[in-house]
Amino acid sequence: MITQRAKTTLRVMQYLAKSHLGPPLRAPEISEQINSPLHFVEFILNLMRRHGFLKSMRGRKGGFILAKPADQIRLQHVIEAVDGKRPSATCTRILPATCVQCVTPEACRLDGIISSALAASRQVYYGFTVADLGLNGLPSGSYDHKTYASDKTG
């Protein structure tokens, strides 16, 4: 699971990647194109610049560009820059003495399942780059949830 902030950041990066051969892009244009509030896009652009994913240029023809090729920017790294590195475990491994949901850390089977799901999702995001966001359709090797859903219902 990723946050709305991470989803919007990926959309910003996607738009910049699609426009990589053109001039630097300004925040108002990006905001309009991805249909997200300007102040939020400005926050994301500055955050991505501070993390080294973007370069900013000042002046009349200034704006933002990717700091390196889109195929060298892993989605997981972008998500971690926005949301931070999230622990793979839930409360039982972080604060076992204060967990009120489980009697003991060993008794919490759900914790292991959640940890596995989080680790798997991180691995999927790590497998794709910003360049993959520019492709038409799903990237190769991607998970097609519609096929999976129809397999389960039929």
Domains of the chain: 4-140 (1.10.10.10)
Length of the chain: 154
The per-residue pLDDT of the chain, averaged, comes to 79
For 95-140, the pLDDT digits (tens) are 555 555 566 655 566 677 777 888 888 888 989 999 988 754 445 5
CA 115 distance to own-chain centroid: 18
pLDDT lower than 50: segments of the chain: 88-93, 136-138, 144-154
Query: Do the Cβ atoms of 42 and 48 come closer than 8 Å?
Result: no
What is the residue type of 117? A
- pTM assigned to the model: 0.73
- Cβ burial of 10 (10 Å; 0-12, 13-18, 19+) is buried
